[in-house]
Amino acid sequence: MARNPPATPDIVARPTLIFLIFLAVSVVAWLLLPDIGLSSTLVWMGRVLGALLVLGWVGLGVWSARAMQRAGTTADLSTPATALVQDGPYRLSRNPIYVAIALLYLGISLLLGNVWGVLLLPLWLAIIDWGVIRPEERYLEDQFGTPYRTYRERVRRWI
């Protein structure tokens, strides 16, 4: 008997919720735990880099959304994927929206001078990779089969 693919990926939580939880935890840690005493020059450089990363989030986010819109599909994980997007930023990364969200998370952390946000970034990336991207990949393989497998072999997961 043929297996019916799921209507949507079976993710651990919405990426936006994971982002907000990590941002909140990092801010609470930043407010409650002792300051590690970064120099004012380092904080200033972090803020400049943070602002650039937030701008990168805007650019990559808009570029990714437009590519999905042109393909006639959506980034909303609660609705079925209707097309396999392979152009625009999807030529460079299978997950440019998650790369963009990582830029935003790191950018906000640096703008605030929040070392805890920077330290929690690898854990955020691991949870997104394990709990969102990998289930999405299984779903897309079920949904699109060989074209997705070929795309996955050609384009890296992150960057």
**pLDDT, tens digit, 9 for 90 and up, residues 13-38:** 999 999 999 999 999 998 898 667 67
Distance (Å, rounded) from C-alpha 92 to C-alpha 96? 8
Tell me the C-alpha to C-alpha distance, in Å, between residue 48 and each of 44, 55, 91, 154. Answer: 6, 11, 29, 34
- Residue 85 · residue 65 · CB < 8 Å: no
What helix, strand, coil percent values describe the chain, rounded to 5? 70, 0, 30
What average pLDDT does the segment 46-59 reach? 97
Stated pTM of the model: 0.91
pLDDT in tens, 57-77: 999 999 999 999 999 999 999
Q: Which residues contact 27 (CB under 8 A, 6 or more apart)?
A: 112, 114, 116, 117
Closest CA to 58 of 101, 19, 87, 15: 101
